[in-house]
C-alpha cells in the first residue's frame, strides 16, 4: 500500500471513529432525556437535534465523497 492510500485509510479511520463516538454520545443524551423525569425533553431535543442532523449529514457526505472518489479512480485507470 503506498503512502497516499495509507494516509487516506488513517484519515478515514479517525473520521469514522470521531463521527461514531459523537453519534453514540448524542443518542445517550437523548435516551437520558427520555428516561429522567426531571429533565424537560423538549429542551434537550431542541438543542441536540440540529447537532445530530449535522453529524448524520457528515456521515452521508463522507460516504458519498468516497463513492464518487472511487468511481473517478476506477474510470481513470
* Residue given cell 497516499 in the structure block: 4
Q: What is the pTM of this model?
A: 0.66
Question: What per-residue confidence (pLDDT) applies to 38?
Answer: 84
Query: Could you tell me if 48 and 30 are in contact, meaning their C-beta atoms sit under 8 angstroms apart?
Result: yes
For the chain, count helices (H), then strands (E): 2, 0
Domain range for 54: 3-76
Q: From first to last of the 77 residues of the chain, give the pLDDT tens digit.
A: 688 778 888 888 888 888 889 889 888 888 887 888 887 878 777 887 888 888 888 888 888 887 777 666 666 65
Number of domain units in the chain:
1
Question: What per-residue confidence (pLDDT) applies to 74?
Answer: 65
- CA-nearest of 19, 43, 17, 18 to 29 is 43
Q: How far apart are CA 27 and CA 52, in angstroms?
A: 9
* Residue given cell 479517525 in the structure block: 14
Amino acid at each position: 500500500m503506498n503512502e497516499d492510500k495509507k494516509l487516506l485509510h488513517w484519515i478515514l479511520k479517525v473520521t469514522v471513529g470521531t463521527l461514531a463516538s459523537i453519534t453514540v454520545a448524542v443518542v445517550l443524551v437523548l435516551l437520558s432525556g427520555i428516561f429522567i423525569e426531571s429533565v424537560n425533553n423538549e429542551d434537550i431535543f431542541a438543542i441536540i437535534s440540529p447537532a445530530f442532523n449535522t453529524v448524520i449529514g457528515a456521515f452521508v457526505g463522507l460516504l458519498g465523497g468516497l463513492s464518487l472518489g472511487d468511481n473517478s479512480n476506477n474510470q481513470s485507470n
